[in-house]
Amino acid sequence: MTAYSILDLAPVPEGSDIGTALRNSVELASHAERLGYQRYWLAEHHNMPGIASAATSVVIGAVAAATKSIRVGAGGVMLPNHAPLVIAEQFGTLAALYCDRIDLGLGRAPGTDPMTARALRRTLQGDVDSFPQDVMELMRWFEPVVDGQRIAAYPGEGQPVKVWILGSSTYGAQLAAHLGLPYAFASHFAPGEMMRATDIYRQTFRPSPYLDKPYVMLGYNAFVADTDAEAQKLFSSVQQAFVNLRLNKAGKLPAPVEGYYERLDGTAKAVVDSALSCAAVGSVDTVAETIKAFVAKTGADELMVTSQIWDPKARVRSLELLAEAVGLNAI
């Protein structure tokens, strides 16, 4: 049976601010827990005025403190930006505070532009080429300390942090399969290699102490409202955001515009269609059928749903209707 979870990009709507966006995320997590979603993830992005979760582990702590049972984690931490020991300490601290509820998704992209990546790291010695080694080093920091070990992650060692590999290509699929880790594919914005990557992961997966069989989670856009037309209007905010990003005009999440997609030129429509093809947009009945077909096609063990909706109340309502569409059991 497919599980359903939330990826919150902590959107900062036009006319709002970062503090309000973060408080909205904490409130949304409480709703997600009540509605029966399995996990709640936040992502690391930098130098993006429309996303408030750059200090990802800090925001995860706030969400975990406001919830009781839902799993909380990173989708993901961009490991080339950080020393593995630092991430082990951060997520070891979260695990020590919130027990067995913390997930750590790891990505190899910088989550930003090259200039900002340099500002984050001070040098570019940490890069994508060392990602597999960095992942294995990080996982070792979570193992219990052994006699003679001179450096340890305090907190971190012995903590039950669940590690995932994230990706938008076959690279991450191969690494996750080799290490025997669960795999999350970023099909919510880069669906091109979704089927090929998940096939490679499943076919080459090697059982490990962490996981005995492959587990695939797919990113998915969901915009649900009382009518199809209303949902399409809500969807226009993220459509605008993607077009603006391609034009190097990234900003706060735009307010929805009725009929936005229909007025786009062919190039802009191609951008939207390519990035956002993995989406269910509409009423409860429409979304239920769309998601059912997507799960049947992909065999996803879990969908990580993202809903970048300008109005926080409409975002909560969308998740409520989505829970109804997929048959979640509210607490």
* pLDDT at 124 (0 to 100): 53
**DSSP notation for 39-80:** EEEE----S-TTB--SSHHHHHHHHHHT-SSSEEEEEEEEGG
What mean pLDDT do residues 121-133 have? 70
What mean pLDDT do residues 19-27 have? 98
* pLDDT at 117 (0 to 100): 73
pLDDT digits (tens, 9 = 90+) for 220-246: 999 999 999 999 999 999 999 999 988
Measured between alpha carbons, how far is 277 from 255 in angstroms, rounded to an integer?
Answer: 21
Please report which confidence band the pLDDT of residue 114 belongs to, taking 50, 70 and 90 as the band edges. confident
Q: Does domain 3-221+298-326 have CATH number 3.40.50.970?
A: no
Measured between alpha carbons, how far is 230 from 283 in angstroms, rounded to an integer?
Answer: 8
Question: ∠ CA(108), CA(98), CA(300), 5° rounding?
Answer: 50
The closest alpha carbon to 74, from 104, 52, 29, belongs to 104
The closest alpha carbon to 83, from 154, 133, 48, 45, belongs to 133
pLDDT digits (tens, 9 = 90+) for 166-190: 999 999 999 999 999 999 999 999 9
The answer to whether 217 and 304 are in contact (CB under 8 A) is: yes
Mean pLDDT of the residues in the chain: 95
Contacts of 279 (CB under 8 A, 6+ apart): 188, 220, 221, 222, 223, 235
Tell me the two tokens of residue 249. 């005009």
DSSP helix/strand/coil, 251:
coil
pLDDT digits (tens, 9 = 90+) for 188-204: 999 999 999 999 999 99
Please report which confidence band the pLDDT of residue 125 belongs to, taking 50, 70 and 90 as the band edges. low
pLDDT digits (tens, 9 = 90+) for 30-50: 999 999 999 999 999 999 999
What mean pLDDT do residues 108-120 have? 76
Please report which confidence band the pLDDT of residue 119 belongs to, taking 50, 70 and 90 as the band edges. confident
Contacts of 97 (CB under 8 A, 6+ apart): 61, 64, 65
What mean pLDDT do residues 265-275 have? 94
Please report which confidence band the pLDDT of residue 116 belongs to, taking 50, 70 and 90 as the band edges. confident
Please report which confidence band the pLDDT of residue 120 belongs to, taking 50, 70 and 90 as the band edges. confident
The answer to whether 78 and 109 are in contact (CB under 8 A) is: yes
Tell me the two tokens of residue 304. 């990580």
The answer to whether 14 and 252 are in contact (CB under 8 A) is: yes
Q: What percent of the chain has pLDDT over 70?
A: 97
